[in-house]
Amino acid sequence: MNLLDYIALVWFLLNCVGYTYYSEHRAKTRPCLSNTLDLYRADWMRRTLMRDARIADASVVGNLERNGAFFASSSLLILAGLITAIGYTDKAMSVFSDLPYIAQTGKFMWELKLVVLCAVFVYSFFKFTWSMRQYNFCGVLISSAPLTYEDKVSSGAREALAKTAARVANLAGDSFNLGLRSYYYGLAVLTWFIHPLLFMAITSAVVAILFQREFRSRALKALRAGKTFEDAAAGNE
């Protein structure tokens, strides 16, 4: 069973790292949620510089930052529970040993599973907190943007600031996305406590779900349709 557990762990790592690498490179050539939202963020920042009242923009950035804060605090709570569970390994194993369809493993393997879960949520905590900081940077850029009546600021400088703010917002969104993926992977690791084969199957299913939502979801089609319509209207003008 230990050999199968190690194989399942390697399969999990290959899927996580492999899909992250694949999605980043596929996004350079194919439409996906990430690069489509990049287009909308660029439009958002350009329009921000066209108005003097930017209360709504600051509110949106604040809401996005609070979303990251919620998941970051949730990651800490989950980590606290997992660390507590490591201290009560023997009791937890005795409880699970009475359950049907649960693969029996040694204490070391049980603790390894908990450590892997801890690593997943430590990663998510760092990603969510980094996303929060980058949204904070984006808020600073929006607040420092020149007003519409400041004629001394050239159009090139305004466009450069809009691109910079959009780029920071894109990076914040990417960090949030990676943190959110960790929760999906964490749910997959939970099935490892039942059986390593189930763990491998659920890991593959999670990656398939992430791929479908990122590259083939109805939300993506709706977002792309809106952008295509906007581009077509601009071309007709």
Give pLDDT tens digits for 170-180. Answer: 999 999 999 99
Query: Considering the entire predicted model, what is its pTM?
Result: 0.88
Q: Is 103 exposed, middle or buried (0-12, 13-18, 19+ CB in 10 A)?
A: middle
The pLDDT assigned to 1 comes to: 58
Domain that includes residue 124, residue range: 2-236
Q: How far is it, in rounded angstroms, from Cα 233 to Cα 102?
A: 59
Closest to 89 in 3D by CA, of 68, 114, 117: 114
Q: Count how many domains the chain has.
A: 1
Could you give the angle at which helices 155-190 and 2-26 cross, rounded to 10 degrees? 160
Longest dimension (CA), the chain: 75
> What percent of the chain lies above the pLDDT cut of 90?
66
The pLDDT assigned to 229 comes to: 46
Q: How far is it, in rounded angstroms, from Cα 111 to Cα 108?
A: 5
For residue 22, give both structure tokens.
């694949």
Q: Is 35 exposed, middle or buried (0-12, 13-18, 19+ CB in 10 A)?
A: middle
**What Å distances lie between residue 47 and 56, 168, 217, CA to CA?**
12, 16, 28
The pLDDT assigned to 99 comes to: 67
The pLDDT assigned to 100 comes to: 67
The pLDDT assigned to 228 comes to: 65
User: Which residues of the chain fall short of a pLDDT of 50?
Assistant: 229, 232-237
The pLDDT assigned to 235 comes to: 45
pLDDT tens-digit series, residues 81-128: 999 888 887 777 776 666 666 777 778 888 899 999 999 999 999 999
Q: How far is it, in rounded angstroms, from Cα 121 to Cα 155?
A: 44
Helix residue ranges, H only, the chain = 2-26, 33-48, 55-87, 89-97, 107-144, 155-190, 196-215, 218-236
